[in-house]
Amino acid sequence: MSNLICGSALKYGDNINTDIISPPAYMELPIEQAAQYAMSPVDETFAARCKPGDIFVAERNLGSGSSRETAPLTLRALGIKTIVAQSYARIFYRNCINLGILAVECAGTGSISEGDQLEIDYQQGVIHDRTTGEELPCDPIPDHIMELVARGGLVEYLKERIQKNA
């Protein structure tokens, strides 16, 4: 697996909570249908614009609110495999990793704009903004976390381990 992740930035600000990411009115729908309403309280075009491989970028306090998994699940259903934010609510961060979404912490997300082409070297801890030429330091991702993400999350990782040991 390459240590580089490339994609186009979908950019949002501070305090994007789980009710914004996954509005409660749609929680009873199958996740693929609920995903069509992701981010709709702040951006009704999000689901339509979101393409597999896009990188969700936010600023401070991403994922605060409810601990439900539907927020990262809806993003994953839309093809988001990588999220970059200045800071995360603890449970949202963990849910991302458990569901196979890479969550990267980067203090410099304020300089990233909508549509910027990003290249993330998660081992070295650097984000290259190919649009602006800027390099932003980020927290490197440990190998054991990348192994969970690469396997599609904690459940898939455990299934594989159990199968190996059977």
**Contact of 99 with 83, CB cutoff 8 Å:** no
The count of other CB atoms within 10 Å of the CB of residue 108 is 15
pLDDT in tens, 109-165: 999 999 999 999 999 999 999 999 999 999 999 999 999 999 999 999 999 989 888
User: Residue 73: its pLDDT value, please?
Assistant: 97
User: Residue 68: its pLDDT value, please?
Assistant: 83
Give residue 90's pLDDT band: very low, low, confident or very high (50, 70, 90). Answer: very high
The arrangement of secondary structure in 4-165, i.e. its CATH architecture, is Alpha-Beta Barrel (3.20)
Segment 47-63 mean pLDDT? 97
Q: What is the pTM of this model?
A: 0.94
